[in-house]
Amino acid sequence: MMSRTTADAKGDVVVLLIGMRINRFWAVHLWLPVMLGMFRMLRELENDPARGLRSRVLLTASPRTYYVVQYWESKEKLYAYATASDVFHHAAWARLNRKERAGKLRGQVGIWHESYIVPEGSYEAIYGDMPAFGLAAAHGQIPLEKRGRYAKDRFAYRSQQAPVAEKTA
């Protein structure tokens, strides 16, 4: 029998997509540090869970494009990590900016990120015979029946019931 589950996310979900594109394969000395820097930042975040990274998935879109889907505890923790001066991201971003300003990266390696705050009621997930993955790895995995068999039911799920208005006489 097929096991169907869904993610146990409650409230807003914070997602960061971040990646790189190798524009010139032979410029290994320029794109490899970018790739290795991402791995170092992920290791740093895994070693310090209080920073707020809940889970991540490494993906490739092509032999040239690599990215990470990251699930964060909150937008505040994502921003705090991005701007903290005591983490590797700070040094890596400063080095990247210096190279960019000097024109050393132009056309060699592309970098990008997209951030999303997804409100409750605007996401749903289903997994068939899958271990915890993506949103479920970040927030936990529960049987599908707990949120509804159909996507419309899972979209309608709210982790907190709206307060009932008191009757006034």
Q: What's residue 108's pLDDT?
A: 87
Q: What's residue 54's pLDDT?
A: 98
pTM: 0.87
Q: What angle is formed at CA 97 by the lines to CA 91 and CA 103, rounded to 5 degrees?
A: 140
Q: What residues contact 155, with CB distance under 8 A and at least 6 apart?
A: 121, 122, 123, 124
Q: Using CA atoms, how far apart are residues 25 and 85, in angstroms rounded to an integer? A: 32
Q: With a cut of 90, say whether residue 135 has pLDDT above it.
A: yes
pLDDT mean over 11-18: 97
pLDDT mean over 8-18: 96
pLDDT mean over 5-30: 94
Q: What's residue 1's pLDDT?
A: 41
Q: Is 116 helix (H, G, I), strand (E, B) or coil?
A: strand
Q: Which residue from 15, 23, 117 is spatially nearest to 66, judged by alpha carbons?
A: 23
Q: What's residue 161's pLDDT?
A: 58
Q: What's residue 100's pLDDT?
A: 82
Q: Which of the four pLDDT bands, split at 50, 70 and 90, describes residue 104?
A: confident
